[in-house]
Chains A and B, each alone.
Chain A
Amino acid sequence: MEGLERIVLAHPFFAGLEAELGPVVSGCARNHRFNPGQYLAHEGDPADEFFLIRHGKVALEILPPGQSPVVFSTEGEGDIVGTSWLVPPYRWRFDARAVELTRAIGIDARCLRDKCEADPRLGYEMMKRIAPILEGRLGDMRLQMLDVYGERAR
């Protein structure tokens, strides 16, 4: 097994992936290192890559007009950053900024999409891994939206 493949398969996102799919996935992967303050992506950019965080911390932020950025989530070791690569028009919908030194695996989204189209088994595997993340984040957002610690909480 190649070094990169080993790193890719060690990430929780790919835990338990069938051995024969390992080289297929890691064929779309490359290593990244982001210094504190460096952006992984900007809102509106083509979502042609997503990131599996190996360690470090990434702030997801949006910039309300005329205000300073609001961080709505941070992602760390074991998390993934970026899901807009799944859905047309494949554009980032927030900024992603490294808060601290962050090492990540970047997955070339077009490469992976093409492979998923060609092999529905891989496509379904990916779906099974992404769906729980989306579902979890939706639940988190609901709780966040309730502003449970706010003035009128309880």
Chain B
Amino acid sequence: MTEADPFVPLPYRVGRVRRETRDITTLELAPVTGVRPDYRPGQFNMLYAFGIGEVAISVSGDPAVPGGYVHTVRDVGAVSGAIAKLKAGAMLGLRGPYGTPWPVEAAEGNDVVFVAGGLGLAPLRPAIYRVLARRERYGRVVLLYGTRSPPDILFRQELERWRRRLDVEVLVTVDRADAEWRGNVGVVPKLIARAGFDPNGAVAMVCGPEVMMRFTANALHASGLALDHIYLSMERNMKCAIGLCGHCQFGPDFVCKDGPVMRYDRIADILTVREI
């Protein structure tokens, strides 16, 4: 058998489609032939909208559930917009999974702090599933989620379900709200001081817009977390996704192969440099 060409996407069929918010959609994708490869929380696939183009999207489903992939897409451009508009039964191309995973195994024995901003909850969700599935292996588990306004809250039912558990602390905040909202208003780093975790040894996994991650990483560090215990998921435009083209260069690294999940102490300096 010849090895598959890494640039040729395999056909996947869209199963269930779920409209999450005004501009975010979750798609279940099943391979037309063969089985879905195993993937690790934090990895991404290149999704190809036929005739339009390819885009890197992190997996947002539960890695323990067999079958296909789950991807959550925000309609922000031609390709992501075309994918977000696909209906059940439609086809798309997919290659992957690629990239580095969240350190879910390395975090065992410690407190875990997930910090998500906006759509950043989607790439973190597989790690949350994994940690909750092996809950007894971790100390305290905290999930801090911030987004723009109450209607923009992603995976709301799931957040509510996790919040009802007695072994997870879930805090949600929005940047702005009207007087009807009874939850928190303020930026997500502000939740760090309210969360109950032991900064000594805790591992933080942070995903969201880059500025939000920078502010969050600084606040986590200020609360006592070591820089090498903070992980961010970086986003860059990808082309080859296998470390060949240099399109996703980030300082000395390529986000597609050295990331997307990167340890903060390795990238902190580069993050504040312009035009990288």
Q: Point out residues on A near B: beta carbons under 8 Å.
A: 57, 59-61, 68-74, 76-78, 97, 99-100, 136, 139-140, 143-144, 146-151, 153-154
| Shortest Cβ distance from residue B39 to the other chain A in the assembled complex, whole angstroms | 24
Chain A positions within 8 Å of B208 at CB level: 148-149
Q: Does B130 contact A (CB under 8 A)?
A: no
- The residue of chain A having its C-beta at the shortest distance from the C-beta of B147 within the complex is A149
The reply to whether B194 and A143 contact each other, CB–CB distance below 8 Å, is: no
Give Cα distance in the complex from A85 to B83, angstroms: 53
- The residue of chain B having its C-beta at the shortest distance from the C-beta of A152 within the complex is B76
Chain A positions within 8 Å of B210 at CB level: 154
Chain A positions within 8 Å of B182 at CB level: 57, 99-100
Chain A positions within 8 Å of B184 at CB level: 57, 74, 76
| Shortest Cβ distance from residue B242 to the other chain A in the assembled complex, whole angstroms | 23
| Shortest Cβ distance from residue A82 to the other chain B in the assembled complex, whole angstroms | 16
The reply to whether A71 and B235 contact each other, CB–CB distance below 8 Å, is: no
Interface size class of B (residues with CB under 8 A): 20 to 34
Other A-B pairs, 18, CB within 8 Å; known A76-B194, A148-B212, A149-B152 = A57-B184, A59-B185, A60-B185, A68-B178, A68-B179, A71-B181, A73-B186, A74-B184, A78-B193, A99-B182, A100-B182, A148-B211, A149-B118, A149-B119, A149-B147, A149-B208, A153-B209, A154-B209
The reply to whether B215 and A139 contact each other, CB–CB distance below 8 Å, is: yes
Chain B positions within 8 Å of A69 at CB level: 178-179
- Interface positions of B from 220 to 250, Cβ below 8 Å from A: 235
Q: Does B260 contact A (CB under 8 A)?
A: no
The reply to whether A146 and B211 contact each other, CB–CB distance below 8 Å, is: yes
- The residue of chain A having its C-beta at the shortest distance from the C-beta of B181 within the complex is A71
